[in-house]
């Protein structure tokens, strides 16, 4: 049953109110920005309370007031003020106060070059740079929770190497695959293995685009309650900002809900409700806190009985005088800083509640009295008011099964302590059972039950064997966005990247907040239509803060597009085949001596295929697709791996994989040219036609100096090599006219235009030859470009542009129609998973490994995707096909490198979590060819040199080592003891305490200087404590320099203590150099367990002064590939007759030979011997009966 009682009034805790009005009004204020258009942030500052615009400008020195011209900003730039998007006239600045929520922007506009005719060029150079990637700084919040930062310009290089030597000459640079390097971040690929619902307090809210299966975070802490004898779990999922269209809800991999069948019959009694952003959640309260202190405490027994149905004789059990048991608690009901408006107490009878008739063993009811009280408390948990009754009731049950119940009571909002007790004695012996445990304490907090801007799903599910302990609720849904239908915007589910981009640009909640007038809307509509026709989709969930430009390009990258700016308007450019260029540039427009052409030739090291990693929409697991695909006639041997987030369709992934490969194969001719003002009107991704006589294959060009009918006089005269011949003419707007078929006239300077071809071009381009060649008086004559059978102008894609004074340098790549091929065929069928799909088993995905040459040794490098829940990984290697395995790695990192044997091998890697070991992931490895460089030291010569060096050091250097240690120690002590003239420090600490549990993170940064010395220190400490347990980790970094000494020191310590037991690991690194040429270094590690210390100390005091001191009981070495991976002891340290001694183990010499010069012993015991000359005094048998005295020449044999 679920009880609900009337409110019980309790003393109201006083709410502290600041006396100072300024303190009450103080809060976070939006910063004011000073921008130089189109978006370069040059300053920002925080306005003060009730500050006027003029007061703000004077305080920040952003501008000064001139008596004649008024307010003047830096460099005399004309500047306007916008507050909340509206212009504020200067005459109002004196009285206009800046409010705490005002969005303030001072916008300065460049005026150009300042002298003569270059002014227009300078303005264009600032506003319309090629490849400018800026974003809206005036938006109050950046995309997905990231506050918009300063202006950024993305300079796109001509080529990029990915995963080796993959050449990328495209607008979009794909990311390296997650398996290509150990440091690559897996992004969306990894997120499919990191599935599960968690609560992320204070983290950015997710923004969902397209169709995905994801496991949303909790919008509120899940909580459970008892209804009757059933327990229900209440949880609220935060799906995404914006509206959603839902297809399915999952519990693990089982369908929980779909729009046709509703809640599955497997989850009887469950409820689900969907809420739009800002809607009030009505299925259950969301502001609920569950006390962690109350977790099953048994209520102490009192005396007397509250009565029951049967006694030992079968008669009714009458009530008797009772006395209550001791209180359980009090415990705090709700967190500090919150107000509880209802309190619920959960209790249970774990062994049932019943009486037994002694006459016939019948089961009857038992009565139990329970009382709960509550009192106000402060944020520190101190009681501030008296305890009053929350409820006091008698409960009656007749059940041998466990009984659970909850009582919820409304209270005056406040923070409370709650205690609980029973009013009678437990039943003892064979009379029945009615023991009570306190199962839970919940507080229902005051606050809104709605979540602005976020779509939520409320789920109320009955606890059963199928749901007990499961918090893995998945959602398959599609985001709803505003879509233009040709006449109006309609909110509908869409996966189109064009409308996702439009939403990210215009959203004021999480995007850049630009108005539609600042968006190239026609470009967006055309791009979205193209995506629909091609089947391009963007399916991705932003769940962390992302910079606005990066978010724009991530959305567009799935369709080979990129954003760019036309002044203050954002637009889209797609990398696609365009045979109609936007401009013709000939030698007459190109700056002399500025053209450079770079041909990149295909080589053996180039990848022979591209593998694209993506998440497949059929399995929602990581998948791969390759182009060219492997077949009977082709098998890739050197593929490179890339990934593009947001692609879930296999056919789309195949297209983008092919495009990346084809552009790397065919776009290998990069062109750099310098142009004047024409170049500043060219935008990122434009296609232009380039003619130049520097490379003879780029056609012929010059000026049209005269025209007579269809005959053009050209200067200079082109080279009429082999036809057919085509001519293009530059129109007044920079575009080209033609091509038109032509032939050589009376002399090489005359070009006769073919009348039929000319008429066709005039009709197609809606112009005339006269209009094409028309120029103003005194203007430059029109340019021409003549293409022949051997030489023609090139179509080039603009990758980048850089202004340089009056000129602009453009980076281009010669495009090729084959890059944009569409007849690619069908991608291979998605292969079946390597392992059964069980998210609880820790599996290793994306294993990538290879053996290559180190200095002279073969070295294995391996990396893989991080595995969700994995505590550590185990790797092994075999050289005999799996008969014998040698462990080569065990650790928490998802990468390692290790020296291995020079042979073909197989590597296997296994992930281990808290409950089980996963299956092995394997990869076959080829042995590399090891090449020794001239002069490389061989192992044998190194061993001999090392023996001599060790002997020399042992004999000579003890005193020198001690001197080096003393120098280092003395310098460290000296810099700490100085009296510094200027000392500054920054301290920070983050701590948390709950009862006896304590955790903290502290940091100290110090800088100190005087006339002849400087010191910088950084100390970071983390520590936790609970009762007798204590652990900490600390690092100390120091840098010191004076007139004759430089010192760097780094120390770290980890320590763990529990009662009298303790262990520590100390690491110290010191490096010193002095004016007189002295230098030394020290590195040491000490391990201390309950006072027993081991470790090593490595000292280098320069040439001839070094030592490696080891403090340990045993010294063991493991040879890879042998002895099953077990280490072999070399020597041990012990005592003989109280003297420290070394005991060596194993074969001292690999060839088994011990020569006489190696032996100087008192006793030798052996089974057999093969010796040449033997010199001895007496030879005798072991029992002494046969004695051969060689000195006296006698032989004695006795019985």
pLDDT digits (tens, 9 = 90+) for 80-102: 899 988 889 888 998 899 988 88
| pLDDT value at 326 more than 70 | yes
Q: Tell me the average pLDDT across 1139-1149.
A: 56
Q: Are 103 and 87 in contact (CB under 8 A)?
A: no
| pLDDT value at 10 more than 70 | no
Query: pLDDT digits over 855-902, tens only?
Result: 556 788 888 877 877 888 999 999 888 888 888 898 888 888 888 888
Give pLDDT, residue 959: 52
Residue 626 binned pLDDT confidence (cut-offs 50, 70, 90): very high
Residue 1080 CB coordination number (10 Å):
23
Which structure tokens are listed for 921? 């992931």
**Residue 550: closest CA among 41, 126, 142, 38:** 142
What is the average pLDDT score of the chain? 77
pTM of the model: 0.54
| pLDDT value at 767 more than 60 | yes
Q: How far, in Å, CA of 820 to CA of 114, rounded?
A: 45
Q: How is 442-511 classified by DSSP, letter by letter?
A: EEEESS-SB-TTEEEEEEEEE--TTTTT---EEEEEEEEEEEE-SSSEEEEE---HHHHHHHHHH-SSSS
Give pLDDT, residue 163: 38
Instruction: Specify whether the backbone of 729 is left (phi greater than 0), alpha (psi in -120 to 50) or beta.
Output: beta
User: Angle, nearest 10°, between helix axes 497-506 and 548-557?
Assistant: 170
Give pLDDT, residue 773: 92
Query: pLDDT digits over 131-189, tens only?
Result: 222 222 223 233 333 333 322 222 223 333 333 456 666 666 676 654 444 444 445 54
Residue 199 binned pLDDT confidence (cut-offs 50, 70, 90): low
Q: Tell me which DSSP letter residue 317 carries.
A: B
Q: Are 472 and 869 in contact (CB under 8 A)?
A: no
Residue 1043 CB coordination number (10 Å):
8
Percent of the chain with pLDDT over 90: 20
| pLDDT value at 127 more than 50 | no
Instruction: Specify whether the backbone of 10 is left (phi greater than 0), alpha (psi in -120 to 50) or beta.
Output: beta
Q: Tell me the average pLDDT across 745-763.
A: 92
- Burial of 1033 per CB tally in 10 Å (0-12, 13-18, 19+): middle
Give pLDDT, residue 451: 81
- Distinct helix (H) and strand (E) counts, the chain: 12, 74
| pLDDT value at 442 more than 60 | yes
Give pLDDT, residue 20: 40
Q: Tell me the average pLDDT across 928-955.
A: 49
Cis peptide before 126, with omega less than 30 degrees from 0? no
Give pLDDT, residue 249: 92
Give pLDDT, residue 510: 83
Which structure tokens are listed for 644? 């593009």
Helix, coil or strand: residue 127: helix
Helix, coil or strand: residue 248: strand
Q: Are 536 and 558 in contact (CB under 8 A)?
A: yes
Q: How far, in Å, CA of 94 to CA of 545, rounded?
A: 38
Q: In Å, how far are 900, 905, 920, 924 from 897, measured between CA atoms?
A: 9, 15, 18, 16
Q: Tell me the average pLDDT across 821-840.
A: 62
Q: In Å, how far are 88, 107, 568, 906, 1049 from 83, measured between CA atoms?
A: 7, 11, 18, 66, 52
Residue 647 binned pLDDT confidence (cut-offs 50, 70, 90): very high
Which structure tokens are listed for 1152? 């088994």
- Full 3-state SS string of 191-204: HCCCCCCCCCCCCC
**Residue 279: closest CA among 247, 248, 239, 233:** 239
Q: How far, in Å, CA of 673 to CA of 808, rounded?
A: 8
Which structure tokens are listed for 24? 């009450």
Q: Are 399 and 352 in contact (CB under 8 A)?
A: yes
Give pLDDT, residue 1169: 59
Give pLDDT, residue 13: 42
| pLDDT value at 1122 more than 80 | no
CA 1157 from centroid of its chain's CA atoms: 64
The alpha carbons of the chain give a radius of gyration, in whole angstroms, of 41
Q: How far, in Å, CA of 1027 to CA of 1023, rounded?
A: 13
Domains of the chain: 21-130 (3.10.20.30), 211-287+450-479 (2.60.40), 289-445 (2.60.120), 848-925 (2.60.40.10), 957-1112 (no CATH)
Q: Look at 914 and 440; give whichever has higher pLDDT.
A: 440
| pLDDT value at 845 more than 80 | no
Give pLDDT, residue 111: 54
Q: Are 1151 and 1136 in contact (CB under 8 A)?
A: no
Query: pLDDT digits over 358-399, tens only?
Result: 777 788 899 999 999 999 999 888 999 999 999 999 998 888
| pLDDT value at 341 more than 50 | yes
DSSP bridge pairs for 958: none
| pLDDT value at 288 more than 70 | yes
| pLDDT value at 933 more than 70 | no
- Burial of 442 per CB tally in 10 Å (0-12, 13-18, 19+): buried
Which structure tokens are listed for 800? 């980048």
Give pLDDT, residue 30: 85
Q: How is 615-680 classified by DSSP, letter by letter?
A: E-TTT-SEEEEEESPP-SS---SSEEEEE-TT---HHHHHHHHHHHHHHHHH--EEEEEEESGGGG
Percent of the chain with pLDDT over 70: 76
Q: How far, in Å, CA of 641 to CA of 621, rounded?
A: 17
Tokens 């402060």 label which residue?
378
| pLDDT value at 482 more than 90 | yes
DSSP bridge pairs for 564: 571
Distance from the first to the final alpha carbon of the chain: 104
**Residue 657: closest CA among 616, 619, 613:** 613
**Residue 208: closest CA among 157, 173, 244, 179:** 244
Helix, coil or strand: residue 960: helix
Q: How far, in Å, CA of 591 to CA of 675, rounded?
A: 5
Q: Look at 463 and 32; give whichever has higher pLDDT.
A: 32
Q: Look at 579 and 146; give whichever has higher pLDDT.
A: 579
Residue 44 binned pLDDT confidence (cut-offs 50, 70, 90): confident
User: What residues contact residue 546 under an 8 Å CB cut-off, 6+ apart?
Assistant: 143, 144, 146, 554
Q: How far, in Å, CA of 98 to CA of 81, rounded?
A: 12
Sheet containing 596-599: give its strands across.
Answer: 583-585, 687-690, 794-804, 807-814, 669-675, 596-599
* The most confident of 7-21, 304-318, 322-336, by mean pLDDT: 322-336
Give pLDDT, residue 499: 95
Backbone angles phi, psi at 966, to 5 degrees: -65, -40
Q: Look at 465 and 700; give whichever has higher pLDDT.
A: 700
| pLDDT value at 930 more than 60 | yes
Tokens 């008969």 label which residue?
883
Give pLDDT, residue 902: 81
Q: How far, in Å, CA of 409 to CA of 343, rounded?
A: 5
| pLDDT value at 847 more than 50 | yes
Residue 695 binned pLDDT confidence (cut-offs 50, 70, 90): low
Give pLDDT, residue 704: 92
Q: Look at 1137 and 608; give whichever has higher pLDDT.
A: 608
Pairing of strands 1114-1117, 872-878: unpaired
Q: How many CA atoms lie within 13 A of 1096 on its CB side?
A: 10
Give pLDDT, residue 85: 81
| pLDDT value at 542 more than 80 | yes
Angle, CA 57 vertex, CA 52 and CA 63 arms, to 5°: 150
Give pLDDT, residue 272: 92
């Amino acid at each position: 049953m679920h009880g609900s009682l009337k409110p019980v009034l309790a003393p109201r805790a006083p709410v502290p109110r600041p006396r100072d009005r300024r303190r009450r009004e103080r809060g976070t204020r939006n910063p004011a920005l000073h921008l130089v258009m189109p978006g370069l942030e040059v300053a920002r500052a925080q306005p003060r309370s009730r500050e006027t615009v003029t007061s703000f400008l004077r305080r920040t020195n952003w501008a000064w007031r001139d008596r004649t011209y008024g307010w003047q900003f830096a460099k005399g730039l004309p500047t306007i003020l916008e507050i909340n998007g509206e212009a504020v006239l200067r005459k109002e600045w004196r009285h206009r106060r800046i409010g705490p929520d005002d969005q303030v922007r001072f916008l300065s506009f460049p005026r150009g070059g300042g002298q003569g005719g270059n002014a227009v060029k300078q303005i264009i150079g600032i506003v319309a740079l090629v490849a400018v990637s800026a974003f809206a700084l005036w938006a109050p919040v950046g995309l997905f929770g990231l506050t918009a930062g300063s202006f950024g310009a993305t300079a796109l290089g001509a080529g990029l190497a990915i995963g080796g030597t993959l050449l990328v000459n495209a607008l979009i640079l794909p990311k390296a695959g997650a398996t290509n390097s150990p440091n690559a971040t897996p992004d969306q690929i990894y997120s499919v293995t990191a599935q599960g619902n968690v609560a992320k307090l204070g983290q950015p809210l997710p923004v969902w685009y397209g169709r995905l299966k994801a496991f949303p975070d909790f919008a509120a802490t899940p909580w459970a309650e008892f209804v009757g004898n059933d327990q229900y779990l209440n949880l609220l999922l935060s799906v995404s900002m914006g509206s959603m269209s839902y297809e399915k809800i999952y519990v693990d991999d089982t369908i929980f809900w779909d729009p046709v069948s509703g809640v599955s019959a497997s989850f009887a009694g469950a409820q689900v409700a969907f809420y739009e952003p800002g809607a009030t959640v009505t299925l259950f309260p969301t502001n609920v806190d569950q006390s962690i202190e109350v977790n099953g405490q048994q209520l102490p027994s009192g005396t007397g009985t509250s009565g029951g149905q049967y006694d030992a004789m079968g008669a009714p059990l009458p009530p008797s005088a009772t006395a209550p048991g001791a209180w359980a608690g009090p415990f705090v009901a709700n967190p500090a800083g919150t107000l509880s408006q209802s309190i619920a107490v959960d209790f249970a009878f774990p062994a049932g509640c019943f009486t037994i008739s002694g006459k016939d063993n019948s089961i009857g009811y038992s009565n139990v009295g329970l009382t709960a009280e509550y009192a106000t408390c402060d944020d520190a948990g101190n009681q501030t008011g008296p305890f009053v009754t929350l409820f006091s009731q008698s409960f009656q049950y007749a059940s041998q099964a466990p009984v659970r119940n909850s009582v919820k009571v409304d209270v005056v909002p406040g923070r409370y302590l709650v205690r609980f007790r029973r009013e009678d004695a437990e039943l003892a012996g064979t009379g029945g059972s009615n023991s009570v445990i306190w199962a839970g304490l919940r507080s229902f907090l005051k606050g809104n039950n709605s979540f602005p801007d976020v779509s939520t799903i409320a789920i109320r599910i009955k606890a059963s064997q199928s749901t007990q302990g499961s918090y893995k609720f998945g959602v398959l849904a599609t985001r709803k966005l505003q879509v233009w239908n040709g006449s109006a915007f309609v909110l509908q589910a869409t996966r189109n990247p064009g409308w996702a981009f439009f939403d990210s640009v215009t959203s004021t909640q999480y995007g850049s907040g630009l108005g539609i007038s600042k968006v190239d809307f026609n470009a967006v509509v055309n791009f979205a239509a193209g995506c629909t026709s091609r089947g391009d989709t963007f399916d991705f969930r932003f769940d962390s803060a992302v910079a606005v430009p990066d978010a724009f390009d991530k959305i567009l990258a799935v369709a080979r597009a990129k954003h760019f700016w036309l002044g203050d308007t954002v637009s889209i450019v797609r990398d696609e085949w365009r045979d109609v260029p936007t401009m013709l540039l000939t030698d007459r427009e190109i700056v002399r001596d500025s053209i450079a052409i770079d041909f990149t030739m295909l080589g053996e090291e180039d990848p022979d295929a591209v593998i694209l990693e993506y998440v497949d929409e059929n399995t929602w697991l990581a998948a791969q697709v390759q182009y060219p695909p492997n077949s009977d006639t082709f098998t890739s041997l050197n593929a490179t791996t890339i990934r593009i987030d947001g692609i879930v369709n296999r056919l789309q992934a195949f297209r983008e994989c092919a495009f990346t490969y084809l552009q790397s194969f065919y776009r290998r001719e990069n062109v750099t040219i310098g142009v004047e003002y024409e170049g500043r009107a060219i935008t990122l991704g434009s296609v232009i036609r380039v003619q130049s006589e520097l490379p003879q294959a780029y056609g012929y060009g010059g000026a049209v100096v005269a025209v007579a009918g269809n005959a053009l006089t050209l200067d200079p005269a082109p080279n009429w090599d082999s036809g057919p011949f085509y001519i293009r003419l530059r129109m007044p707007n920079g575009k080209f006219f033609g091509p038109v078929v032509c032939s050589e006239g009376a002399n090489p300077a005359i070009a006769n235009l073919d009348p039929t071809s000319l008429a066709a071009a005039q009709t197609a381009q809606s112009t005339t030859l006269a209009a094409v060649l028309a120029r103003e008086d005194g203007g430059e004559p029109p340019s021409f470009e003549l293409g022949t059978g051997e030489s023609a102008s090139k179509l080039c894609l603009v990758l980048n542009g850089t202004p340089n004074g009056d000129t602009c340098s453009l980076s281009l790549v010669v495009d090729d129609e084959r890059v944009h091929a569409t007849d690619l065929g069908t991608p291979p069928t998605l292969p079946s998973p390597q392992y059964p799909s069980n998210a609880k088993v820790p599996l290793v995905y994306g294993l990538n490994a290879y053996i290559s040459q180190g200095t002279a040794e073969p070295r294995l490098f391996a990396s893989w995707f991080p595995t969700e829940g994995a505590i550590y990984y185990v790797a092994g290697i075999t050289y005999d096909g799996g008969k014998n395995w040698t462990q080569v790695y065990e650790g928490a990192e998802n990468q390692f490198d290790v020296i291995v044997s020079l042979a073909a091998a197989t590597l296997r890697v296994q992930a281990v979590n808290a409950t089980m070991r996963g299956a092995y992931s394997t990869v076959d490895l080829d042995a590399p060819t090891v090449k020794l460089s001239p002069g490389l030291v061989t192992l044998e010569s190194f061993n001999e040199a090392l023996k001599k060096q060790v002997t020399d050091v042992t004999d000579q250097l003890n005193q020198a080592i001690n001197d080096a240690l003393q120098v280092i120690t003395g310098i460290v002590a000296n810099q700490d003891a100085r009296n510094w003239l200027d000392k500054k420090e920054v301290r920070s600490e983050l701590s948390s305490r709950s009862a006896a549990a304590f955790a903290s993170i502290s940091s100290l940064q110090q800088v100190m200087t005087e006339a002849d010395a400087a010191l910088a220190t950084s100390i970071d400490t983390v520590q936790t404590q609970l009762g007798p347990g204590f652990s900490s980790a600390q690092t100390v970094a120091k840098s010191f320099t004076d007139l004759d000494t430089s010192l760097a020191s780094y120390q770290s310590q980890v320590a763990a203590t529990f009662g009298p037991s303790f262990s520590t690991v100390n690491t110290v690194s010191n490096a010193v150099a002095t004016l007189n040429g002295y230098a030394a270094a020290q590195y040491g590690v000490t391990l201390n367990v309950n006072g027993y210390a081991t470790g090593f100390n490595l000292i280098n005091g320069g040439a001839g002064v070094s030592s490696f001191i080891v403090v340990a009981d045993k010294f063991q070495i493991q040879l890879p590939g042998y002895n099953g991976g077990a280490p072999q002891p070399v020597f041990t340290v012990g005592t003989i007759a109280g003297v420290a001694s070394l005991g060596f183990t194993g074969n001292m010499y690999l060839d088994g030979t011990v020569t006489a010069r190696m032996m100087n012993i008192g006793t030798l015991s052996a089974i057999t011997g093969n010796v040449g000359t033997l010199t001895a005094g007496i030879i005798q048998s072991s029992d002494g009966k046969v004695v051969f005295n060689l000195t006296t020449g006698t032989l004695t044999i006795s019985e």
